[in-house]
Amino acid sequence: MIDLKENLVSRHLVFNEKNKVNKGVEGLRQEAIEIFNQKGFPTRKDEEWKYTNLAPLLKVDYKLFPEDEVAVEYKDIKKYLVHDIDSYLIVFVNGKYSSFLSNTTHDEADICILSSAMHKTVHQAVIENYYGKIAKNDDSLVSLNTAFAKDGAFIYIPNNVILSRPIQIVYFSTGASQEVMYQPRNLVVVGDNAQVQIIERHQTLDEKANLTNVVSEVNVGKNAEIHWYKFQNDSNEVSLIDNTYINQERDSRANVFTFSFGGKIVRNNLNFFQNGENCNSVMDGITVIDGKQHVDHHTFVEHIFPNCESH
């Protein structure tokens, strides 16, 4: 029987060698795989996971690094987009960025992909200050993502910019020869007095029992505001572990709306860190499931400074 943890640990060295970015990121990856090797996947013996059993997902022989080049057209994905709005769009197909389906910008803000940002000098200060700094590094699934993340959305909203339209981040999986484990990584930095709306979705277009372990690191600057809408409505065989970490500076407002309508096992880890006075954190959403579907929302708010609110 496959030992997924051992498979991941044994393949990490080759992955890190093939996907060199810079010494800082490679060092983070190495530290992360050591933490994951030590802790392994969470079990129901862990207090924070006592209501969610990952064991059935760990018996699958996942493909770890899909190389399939699959042609996906706009007509294939249109129904999964909030398409009656004018938006920036970042689309990944089988873990790879699709420039054909995307609509990015560097005009009013930097809305692009993480792999590109990591290789550009202009973005190094943001990467060094925030990547791997907000998410909880001692969490085994965050560490697993850090160890294997190759790409995701990179969003930097400069100070005083109220973004003119929302951003949609959509990950599609289709046409793979076998089940795949994905490790997407998003980094969002909202400058002081800035505002942004983000819509995120992970969608499988075939019947494969894929597993996605996504990490989003978000920094909301002073008096800034973010609205993040998470749409979770996948097939009954697909599972999603969503790890979102939001650091808030004083007078900021962070709102996350989670719509969970489908999936085999869906686990949302939503974490806010209020690092300044007068922060406001809002966690809203709705779960509508049936049959053997399972959704677990785990929320955490750290009230570090006075006069903050969470709802």
- Report the predicted TM-score, pTM, of the whole model to 2 decimal places: 0.96
Range of 215's domain? 60-138+149-310
What band does 68 get if pLDDT is binned at 50, 70 and 90? low
Rounded CA-CA distance 223/130 in Å is 18
Asked, for residue 279, whether it belongs to a domain, the answer is: yes
Q: What CA–CA distance (Å, rounded) separates 90 from 152?
A: 9
C-beta separation of 230 from 242 below 8 A: yes
> Is the model more confident about 226 or about 15?
226
pLDDT band at 263 (very low <50, low <70, confident <90, very high): very high
Query: Would residue 290 count as lying in a domain?
Result: yes
Mean pLDDT for the stretch of residues 222-238: 96
Residue 201 parent element (H or E): strand 195-204
Question: What's the rounded Cα separation, in Å, for the pair 217 and 247?
Answer: 8
Identify whether 25 is part of a domain.
no
For residue 274, being part of any structural domain is answered with yes
Q: Which two tokens stand for residue 101?
A: 């389906």
Q: What percentage of the chain carries pLDDT values higher than 70?
A: 98
For the stretch 107-159, pLDDT in tens is: 999 999 999 999 899 999 999 999 999 998 889 999 999 999 999 999 999 99
Strands 265-274 and 96-97 turn out to be unpaired
Write down the pLDDT at residue 23.
81
Number of domains in the chain: 1
The answer to whether position 163 is within a domain reads yes
Structural domain includes residue 19: no
Is 1 a residue whose pLDDT tops 60? no
Please check whether residue 260 lies inside any domain of the structure.
yes
Q: Judging by DSSP bridges, how do beta strands 211-220 and 280-287 pair with one another?
A: unpaired
Between CA 102 and CA 84 the distance in angstroms is 16
Phi, psi of 149 (to 5 degrees): -65, 130
Q: Are 90 and 169 in contact (CB under 8 A)?
A: yes
Does the residue 47 lie in any domain?
no
Distances 129 to 15, 94, 274 between C-alpha atoms, Å: 24, 29, 18
